[in-house]
Structure formats: C-alpha cells, structure tokens
C-alpha cells in the first residue's frame, strides 16, 4: 500500500491515535490547537510537502530525503498517511520533483505536494493528520545521526551536499 510521509510536531496533536475511529477525528478537528495547525500545516504556495513510500517499513530509510535536509540531526516525528486518506478528504496530491528539497537526485521522484488552497483545505489536512496519528513513528536524534554518518562513510552523501551545520554535527 502506498503511503506519504509527513514530518509533524507530535506533541502538538492529541495523544489518542484516531486512525481506528474516523468519526472521532471529525469531532476532534474542532479542538486541534492553533500551534498544531501553524507548526504542521505551513503551506508554501498552497502546497504541503510529502514523500512517497511504496510500503510502510517504519524504517529510517523512509525519511532519508527529510534528514539530509536537516540543519541538525534532531529527533524526527513523522506520520505515514495512506493514499486513501487523502481521497477521503478530497485532497489532491501531485508529484513535484522541482520542489524536492533533497540533494539526492534519485530520491526527488518521490516528492509530492498536497494541494491546500484555503481555510477548508487546512481543516481537511488537519483531519488527515488526526486520522493518521496511529501511523506515527519517532526517530531519535541518535538514529538520525548514525544514519547520516553511515551515508557519509559510504559516500551516499558528501560534505557539499548537506548544510555545514549538519556536517559539523555528524562528523
């Protein structure tokens, strides 16, 4: 099953995963904090960045496009959003290689955008997040750092491909 990965600030969202109860997600949408909306649903040109994975592995391999763009090897909370969930909310997903913020050319084809044009779209995307909280995964900073060091060692990434701050923190 196809999923899209999105980084979130997990502490801003309700503690109870709502993926098993979509009706509860609809009720909870009215209680989502403004911080959750402003931290996790920041659009740029009416788009939200996503990374497509063909299967949910719960592996750091799923977030490589994200972590190579970090400034620091920090803990990373992500959710896996099923393709069907976007359809249920009427949110359009489009591939966008040109917007892919990763130095790894071979991964750019996995970059997609959710099109969020207005206030209604923000609410729908918040519902998508609520419904997907059961598919949350946290990668500790140590895991991120270890993976990036391994990628440097194996020459999958080079110093010039990542930020100077990130290179300093992992070398």
Mind listing the pLDDT tens digit for each residue in 23-63? 666 667 778 888 988 888 989 999 999 999 999 999 999 99
Q: List phi, psi (to 5°) of 119.
A: -55, -45
Q: How distant is the alpha carbon of residue 146 from its chain centre? A: 20
Rounded Cα gap, residues 6 and 137, in angstroms:
10
Range of the domain at 122: 3-170
58 φψ region: left (φ > 0), alpha (ψ -120 to 50), beta (else): left
pLDDT at 20 over 60: no
- Does residue 46 contact residue 40 with C-beta atoms inside 8 Å? no
pTM of the predicted model, to two decimals?
0.91
* Per-residue pLDDT, 73: 93
Look over the chain and give the mean of its residue pLDDT values, rounded to a whole number: 91
pLDDT of residue 6: 97
* Least confident span in 27-31, 36-40, 78-82, 132-136: 27-31
pLDDT of residue 48: 96
Task: Give me the percent of the chain exceeding a pLDDT of 90.
Answer: 76
Report the number of distinct structural domains present in the chain: 1
d(Cα 60, Cα 38) in Å, to the nearest integer? 26
Write out the DSSP string of 96-107: -GGG---S-GGG
Tokens of 112: 């997609």
């Amino acid at each position: 099953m196809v999923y899209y990965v999105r980084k979130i600030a997990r502490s801003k969202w309700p503690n109870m995963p709502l993926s098993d109860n979509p009706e509860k997600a609809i009720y909870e949408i009215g209680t989502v904090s403004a911080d959750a909306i402003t931290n996790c649903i920041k659009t740029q040109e009416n788009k939200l960045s996503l990374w497509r994975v063909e299967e949910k592995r719960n592996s750091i391999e799923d977030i490589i496009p994200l972590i190579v763009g970090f400034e620091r090897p920090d803990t990373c909370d992500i959710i896996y959003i099923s393709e069907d969930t976007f359809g249920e909310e009427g949110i359009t997903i489009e591939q966008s290689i040109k917007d892919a913020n990763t130095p790894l050319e071979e991964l750019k084809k996995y970059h997609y955008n959710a099109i969020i044009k207005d206030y209604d779209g923000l609410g729908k995307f918040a519902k998508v997040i609520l419904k997907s909280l059961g598919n949350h995964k946290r990668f500790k900073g140590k895991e991120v750092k270890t993976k990036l060091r391994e990628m440097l060692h194996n020459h999958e990434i080079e110093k010039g491909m990542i930020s100077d701050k990130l290179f300093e923190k992992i070398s």
